[in-house]
Amino acid sequence: MMMKQILLSLFGVLFALQTQAQHKISGTVSDAAGRPLSGAAVSVKESPTFGTVTDAKGHYELSLPDGTYRISVSFVGYDPSEKNVIVDTQSRKLDFLLSERTTMIDQVVVTATRTPKLLKDVPIVTRVISDADIKRVDATHIGDLLQTELPGIEFSYSMNQQVSLNMSGFGGNSVLFLVDGERLAGETLDNIDYSRLSMGNVERIEIVKGAGSSLYGSNAIGGVVNIISRESQEPWSVNLNGRYGAHNEQRYGGSVGFNQGRFNSMTNVQYTSIDAIDLSKGTDNAEVGDYSTIYGASTLNVRERLVFTAADGLRFTARAGYFFRERDASGSIKERYRSFSGGLKGNYAITEADDLELSYAFDQYDKSDYLIPNSRDVRDYSNVQNTLRTIYNHTFADKHILSVGGDYLHDYLMSYQFSDNGSHTQHTADAFAQFDWNPHRRFNLIAGLRFDYFPEARLSHLSPKLGVMYKADDCSLRASYAGGFRAPTLKEMYMDFYMGNIFMIYGNPELKAETSHNFSLSAEYMKGRHNFTVTWFYNLVDNRITTAWNQELAGQVYTNMAPLQVAGAETNATGKYPCGLSWRVSYAYTREMIEKGQPLLSSTRPHTATAHLAYDKAWKNYGLSLALTGRYLSGVTCDVYTALTSYEETVRQTYPGYTIWKLSLVQHLWQGVDLTLAVDNLFNYRPDYYYSNSPTTTGTTCSVGLSLNLEQFFKSK
């Protein structure tokens, strides 16, 4: 009888405890714009065993006994949030709004090390442009964004209004642009077609300045820019967006995504167009510059990315893309540019310590002239690249990572710049290894080595890399050395072209590879809501490939330059506060030191700066993001070839400095509805004379944009 009473008593206690544990706390976790954050961690300070993560709608639910608790919520890239709650009823509703962390120190990045690593733990200086940054700038293509967000970068015009890049003294052929880690085929005047890099469906952009040849080979001698695509986080999503601006600039786009079971898909489409811009309009000057009209153009960009998780640890990613651009170069000819791209990648986690990646990538970039009088489309350029890659990673003691891999590239080029529109092919191969050593939580060292073989150019090269990082409380110190390498391209070896019916340009099969030694040292200080970074860099570049006048041939020939030096410093300061206010100021100083007698053809501006001031606030049914951004570029003096008779001589040219500001307001009017209003060139700057390095603005312009996320229409707040 007594035993029965004891059992009944124990049962009663257990029942009471169980009943007590049924009190629920639930709510949603959203960003400052009210968008749900899926996968946010929700924990209880007093009881670490109680915890959960938010679902696809940002919803969470906890069951707790009576008491007072402190609930903590965290999400990568956002400031954590904590709230006190008293549990004494059956249910409590507790919502969280997380503010994006300006420093992004907890952002996972992959470009600098080719393996996932937190930004704060990367020994190579890496800059990340987030999805929120892209939306604030409301950029259509990569050039608009990078110039606004980073100092030391300038996009300008070269011959025939083709876009040219200068990044801290390195041109477009020395900066490697990647989309999800893959190269792009095709080039014009040593630059890829930047209009292929639309900002639709971009999760983030990672920029690593300095040589990246030990991981990415040729063309990464001056830096790497990697555009990371967004994967669908919702069961289904549909976005429609558009923008209208000055000069009849139009942008329409949309994306469709789903995330169901083992499949994750995202399809993105973007169309843009702009009329020709008359630079002389609104001025009395008869001669406004080296050119008076900017060509009108239109683009179409379609991309699909499909992820299939075949099993735990086995994942396949397939992608496909189509791009079309048309320029109104004259009344009788429309220039057309097309690309077709695709690829398949498999990631296999063999064990907890071993993973393998195999991939194949295809990219074809064509150019043609559409002859309006007879409706003929004449293709005169085609670059086709097929790439095979493998990477194997092994983790020792849960913290040291050895990475080994290799690439094979088949590169085909048919070009109007070759004799009789001929073609050339080259096969290249490489192998690389990297060791990421983490002996202590404060210390990290990365060492890498890559071997590249280019049989067509009869050359091979070893590219080393060494990066060291030491963390002391609120300060992080980074130092690195990297060997850079760029092999001569097929065009530089075999070009035979009558440039503009003025002079010949000849290739040179005997060209040597460009090489460089890159040193950098940086210090980062993080305290509270502030971050300060300063970086010093020095590059010694040998055998830079350029063109020089050849008296015997009466034309220009590709040749190797004498050694040159590029040195400078870059500083960055940021702050973000609970009231919604944030700011960032960046400055870069770059100095090129070229041997006497060598032409000063580079137009690197010695002083550049960017500034950003933003205010973000969200209420129940309304939110806003107000941003003021500006960029400053100092004047620069350089040499340019004259067009008098032979292009043999150069003259000294000065490009004036300028400052441009942009004010943008993004309003979150209702669930899934964003309205963007922007005023560009706020203080109405207009060049006195339009050079290649002058901004093509005609003064202050305005634009309006609308974005609709249809899946959010069906969510309850």
Tell whether the model's pLDDT for residue 9 goes beyond 60.
Answer: no
Tell whether the model's pLDDT for residue 209 goes beyond 80.
Answer: yes
- Give the range among 168-182, 357-371, 629-643, 645-659 with minimum mean pLDDT: 645-659
pTM: 0.86
For residue range 190-208, list pLDDT tens digits in order.
999 999 998 888 999 999 9
pLDDT for position 598: 66
Q: What are phi and psi of 623, to 5 degrees?
A: -145, 155
Residue 232 confidence class, pLDDT cut points 50, 70, 90: confident
Considering the chain, what percentage of its residues have pLDDT values greater than 70?
92
Residue 603 confidence class, pLDDT cut points 50, 70, 90: confident
pLDDT for position 100: 67
Tell whether the model's pLDDT for residue 18 goes beyond 70.
Answer: no
Q: What is the mean pLDDT of residues 373-380?
A: 94
pLDDT for position 98: 84
pLDDT for position 19: 46
pLDDT for position 2: 52
For residue range 495-539, list pLDDT tens digits in order.
999 887 778 899 999 999 999 999 999 999 988 889 999 999 999
Domains of the chain listed by start with CATH number: 23-98 (2.60.40.1120), 108-714 (2.40.170.20)
pLDDT for position 248: 96
Alpha-carbon separation of residue 151 from 531, 577, 606, 687 (angstroms) = 17, 24, 11, 21
pLDDT for position 17: 43
User: What is the rounded distance in angstroms from the CA atom of residue 677 to the CA atom of residue 245?
Assistant: 10
Beta strands in 544-691 (DSSP E): 545-550, 555-560, 564-576, 581-594, 607-618, 623-633, 636-641, 650-655, 658-670, 673-680
Mean pLDDT in the chain? 88
Tell whether the model's pLDDT for residue 245 goes beyond 50.
Answer: yes
pLDDT for position 618: 81
If DSSP codes are grouped into helix, strand and coil, which group holds residue 547? Answer: strand
pLDDT for position 10: 47
Ordered strands of the 175-179 beta sheet: 127-130, 202-209, 223-229, 175-179
Residue 77 confidence class, pLDDT cut points 50, 70, 90: low
What tokens appear for 319 in the block? 């992608």
